[in-house]
Chains A and B, each alone.
Chain A
């Protein structure tokens, strides 16, 4: 403890016209668990990639490893100094065994010297036992749970001689128990002198295991703080720079019921989902990844058909054969995958806004007026305060937050009564998030019924009137944020 494992100073990176990192300093001690915290787009990944040698930072940077100071790091240099990154996708070979995955780097280093499976087995067992892990070296990686795959990835970098390990969102798709196990392992690695950087947005866990936390915001270093005495609220403020009001949405005038699900099921996806959605209400739909949130939304939006149960709109049974039926019944769905499903990235802002209302715009029949399309887009750009220099440009030219506003605009143009928002803040900058939620709250105040899907307990807690927590395709619990705390909601989601 106390020794510096790596210190990087004056780290800056410019992509095109945006300064992604601005004179950041980063310091990691030997044998510590450090948290790298910050909202989406704050520059965390860029910083990791620079330290890992993937990106070349702007001139003036200084890397020091205690004894030596370098002005650049190549990927090979990073490897030789024991710097390894475990990305969220783990980069394992699913068809190979655990042992083969662990010794994989030997294949790469010495391709002319094949490793026998026996050799792979003994060598990987050595690592597994050294750290007391629960892993079967003969198992195929594709048969393992995400948590176990993570252990394989850890063994692989340990085998390659890692002394500094960056872990990118390691807890994102784990159950509560698995998270505890993983955090236990990171502690024992640290005790053996290995330095670990956890990148995570789950503040509770992070505060538990980390000694220090380094906070980035909009590409700038906010500071590095000891976790002792740090609260979640303070950390959030440091990350966002906003004194966000940490209060649930004030109990609003819930209107008449609009949408009702009665024992809705779809085989293999979700079972017996029943709830009623009212006008003016924001209903939170949360749960871990794969709990069935998006699947339920797809069915309400007519993209998939239920195998049993009923969907009612204003008391009338609803049969949706496609999402066009849903749009006709004034149901709209904002996809979580803005890049591939939400917007047609290469096409113009104008076209992306108008695509949902073509039948309405084509009047008279067979005359779609370019002027009307422009007027529609201009209207929504103004309504949602979107920063657009030229609506003829491809929608991909906009920032995440502004793209999301266009994605919202295209659905608001359909004048929906039920609006399903699937993770509406994914890939949206810190400041823009609050703006998006302002819009959403306003819509609800005007009487729109909103289903808000999110895996961030904080988002649900602050915006939803009611939250349904899903697990394995079933409703596990119903929570009223106003009657509970954010921590309690988080615990229920992860229980």
Chain B
């Protein structure tokens, strides 16, 4: 028995046999789309284009990570975009108002406070989902509309702009040739990957996503895990809010709203199970990169941005159709 186990690759293949297939499929997709647009789109294979792609990806990327965890746990967090807005607002206010006199220290403090607001929003959703037992779609939909309303009320529908220079450095600077937003996204993805594969929180999220009652019968504190899921989701949405604030040097409620359903699409594209229990970070990152390549490539070819969105939709349907035989097999 031990001999047989030792023969297995020691990489984190723990979750699901199909995982490796997902990663290979998403890698193939990424290489394929890069190859296609290198041929079709002039100027695709340039440093400028790759730079701008890795500038644009992190917002959608972080929001998708914020969506992935609730999906694996068998739920959904529809409030990710507005949570991002609210955290951005919080940070902007603090920097310009309360903490304005504190100099350079005000920026990290405002960022931490902003992320705390994101965490609090997620925490509340988690508590309601865990203790009231209402479906996460309803709870997070309520939270989404609540946050939207509060944000619009406080800003009167306008925006806040004019951040200190540090923010612009975060938004447009780069380190070792990689844009800082991209670094934030990759770090968040790596952190999430670790949580999902090497902690009992991640382990429990997969289990409860498949069957919360059986997981509870096994002695797992399902309520606490659910709260953790939505809190992490809130923090990741908060990070997306920070990146948006830094990149646009302004924040407005409703910004990034159109990303919401695309984050869900990205998760399903990467093989997350709509009924919970399955889904991985790495295929999601690769899938997001493919989506960005398609959007940028089509943009360079002069196609409208709306057409790119349509292609994304078609793409999802094709990938789902291709995946079906594998799902039926297992």
Q: Is the beta-carbon distance between A344 and B219 smaller than 8 angstroms?
A: no
Write 19 A-B pairs (CB below 8 A) sorted by A numbering.
A323-B217, A323-B219, A333-B217, A340-B214, A342-B214, A344-B207, A344-B215, A345-B211, A345-B214, A347-B210, A348-B16, A351-B207, A354-B203, A355-B203, A355-B215, A355-B218, A356-B219, A367-B199, A368-B200
Contact A324 B221 (CB under 8 A): yes
Residue B213 interfacial (CB < 8 Å) = yes
Task: List which B1-39 residues lie within 8 A (CB) of chain A.
Answer: 1-2, 5, 8, 10, 12-17
Stretch at the interface among A112-120, A243-251, A374-382: A374-382
CA A293 to CA B10, docked complex, whole Å: 45
CA of A377 to CA of B213 in the docked complex: distance in angstroms? 22
| Interface bits B175-207 vs A (CB < 8 Å: 1, else 0) | 000000000000000000000011110111011
**B-side interface residues, number (CB < 8 Å):** 34
CA of A351 to CA of B219 in the docked complex: distance in angstroms?
Answer: 14
A392 CA / B5 CA spacing, docked (Å): 10
Q: Using known A-B contacts A323-B219, A378-B1, A392-B13, determine if residue A346 contacts B198 with beta carbons closer than 8 Å.
A: no
Assess the B217–A367 pair: CB atoms within 8 A.
no
Contacting B203 at CB < 8 Å: which of A342, A358, A394, A414? A358
Complex contacts, B216 vs chain A, CB 8 Å: 323
Chain A min CB distance to B79 (Å): 28
Is B277's CB within 8 Å of the partner chain A?
Answer: yes
Contact B211 A346 (CB under 8 A): yes
Chain A, residues 379-403, CB within 8 Å of chain B (1/0): the string is: 0011000000011111000000000
A sample of 8 more A-B contacts (CB under 8 A), given A344-B210, A368-B200, is A347-B207, A347-B277, A348-B15, A351-B207, A356-B219, A369-B198, A374-B5, A392-B13
Docked CA distance A378–B6 (Å):
11
Q: How far is the CB of B105 from chain A (nearest CB, A)?
A: 30
Contact A378 B2 (CB under 8 A): yes
Closest to A325 in B: B219
**Measured CA separation A202–B217 after assembly (Å):** 31
Closest residue to A391 on the B side, CB-wise? B5
Check if A368 sits within 8 Å of B16, measured CB to CB: no
Instruction: Report Cα–Cα, A202/B220, bound state, in Å.
Output: 38
Name which of A346, A348, A350, A391 has the most chain B CB atoms within 10 A of its CB: A346
Contact indicator A361/B217 (Cβ below 8 Å): no
List the B side residues contacting A391 at CB < 8 Å. Answer: 5
- Confirm or deny: A423 has a beta carbon within 8 angstroms of a beta carbon on chain B: no
Q: Is the CB of B14 within 8 A of A373?
A: yes
Q: Min CB distance, A252 to chain B, in Å? A: 29
Contact B1 A382 (CB under 8 A): yes
B16 pairs with A362, CB closer than 8 A: no
Smallest beta-carbon distance A404→chain B, Å = 14
Also in contact, A350 and B221, with CB within 8 A (given A343-B214, A355-B207, A358-B203): no
A346 touches B277 (CB 8 A): yes
Interface size on A, residues (CB 8 A): 45
**Which residue of chain B is the closest to A360 with respect to CB atoms?**
B200
Closest residue of B by beta carbon distance from A393? B17
Q: Closest CB of chain A to B251's CB: distance in Å?
A: 33
Tell yes or no: A15 within 8 A of B by CB.
Answer: no
Closest CB-CB distance, A10 to chain B, in whole Å? 31
Binary interface encoding of chain A residues 327-350 relative to chain B, with 1 for a CB under 8 A from any of its CBs, else 0? 100000101000011111111101
What B residues does A410 contact at CB under 8 A? Answer: 218
Q: Which of B284-321 contact A (CB under 8 A)?
A: none
Name the A residues within 8 Å of B200 (CB-CB).
358-359, 361-362, 368
Q: Which chain A positions have C-beta within 8 A of B219?
A: 323-324, 326-327, 355-356, 414
Query: Within the assembled complex, what's the spacing in Å between the Cα atoms of A390 and B17?
Result: 10
A184 within 8 A of B: no
CB distance from A77 to the nearest CB of B (A): 31
> Hey, which chain A residues are within 8 Å of B13, CB to CB?
392
Flag B42-65 by CB within 8 Å of A: 1 or 0 each: 000000000000000000000000
Number of A-B contacts (CB under 8 A): 101
Given contacts A347-B207, A361-B200, A392-B14, contact A340 B1 (CB under 8 A): no
Report the minimal beta-carbon distance from A345 to chain B, rounded to whole angstroms: 7
A393 to B5, CA, bound (A): 13
Q: When chains A and B are docked, how far (Å) is the Cα of A342 from the Cα of B218? A: 8
- Best-surrounded residue of B200, B207, B221 (most CB of chain A within 10 A): B200
The smallest C-beta distance from A387 to any residue of chain B, in angstroms, reads 11
Which B residue sits closest to A338, measured CB to CB? B214
A371 proximal to B (CB < 8 A):
yes
CB-based nearest A residue for B211 = A344
In the complex, A216 Cα to B202 Cα: how many Å? 46
A392 and B17 in contact (CB under 8 A), knowing A370-B197, A382-B1?
Answer: yes
Docked CA distance A9–B197 (Å): 54
- Complex Cα gap A287–B214 (Å): 25
List CB contacts (< 8 Å) of B100-146 with chain A.
Answer: none
- The CA of A342 and the CA of B219, in the complex, are separated in Å by 11
A258-280: contact bitstring with B at CB < 8 Å (1 yes, 0 no)?
00000000000000000000000
A358–B220 CA distance with the chains assembled, in angstroms: 9
Q: Which residues of B contact A346 (CB under 8 A)?
A: 210-211, 277-278
Alpha-carbon distance between A355 and B208 when the two chains are bound, in angstroms: 11
Residues of A within 8 A of B221 (CB): 322, 324
For B202, give the chain A residue with the smallest CB separation.
Answer: A368
Please give, as numbers and ranges, the residues of chain B lying within 8 Å of A323 by CB-CB distance: 216-217, 219
Q: A341-B217, A348-B16, A370-B12 are in contact. Are A358 and B204 (CB under 8 A)?
A: yes
CA–CA, A343 to B215, complex, Å? Answer: 8
Contacts of B2 in A (CB 8 A): 378
Q: Which of B14, B198, B215, B220 has the most CB of A within 10 A?
A: B14
Contact A356 B1 (CB under 8 A): no
Per the bound structure, the CA–CA distance linking A394 and B17 in Å amounts to 9
* CB-based nearest A residue for B194: A366
Q: Give the distance in Å from the alpha carbon of A369 to the alpha carbon of B197 in the complex.
A: 9
Residues of A within 8 A of B220 (CB): 355, 358
**Are A347 and B206 touching (Cβ within 8 A)?**
yes
Q: Count chain B CB atoms within 10 A of each CB in A323, A324, A347, A371 and give the residue with the most.
A: A347
Query: Are the CB atoms of B214 and A344 closer together than 8 Å?
Result: yes
In the complex formed, the residue of A with least CB distance to B200 is A358
A203 to B275, CA, bound (A): 43
Chain A positions 4-24 with a Cβ under 8 Å from a chain B Cβ: none
The 5 closest A-B CB pairs, nearest first, are A358-B200, A370-B14, A346-B210, A327-B219, A355-B218
Q: How far is the CB of A196 from chain B (nearest CB, A)?
A: 39
Cα–Cα distance between A343 and B206 once the two chains are bound (Å):
13
Task: Name which residue of chain B comes closest to A371, CB basis.
Answer: B10
Residue of B17, B204, B218, B221 contacting most chain A CB atoms (<10 Å): B218
Cβ–Cβ contact A350 & B14, under 8 A:
yes
| Contact pick for B199, options A345, A350, A366, A382, CB 8 Å | A366
Residue-wise interface mask of B (247-280) relative to A, using a CB-CB cutoff of 8 A (1 in contact, 0 not): 0000000000000000000000000000001100
Q: How far is the CA of A370 from the CA of B9 in the complex (A)?
A: 11
Bound CA span A375–B8, Å: 12
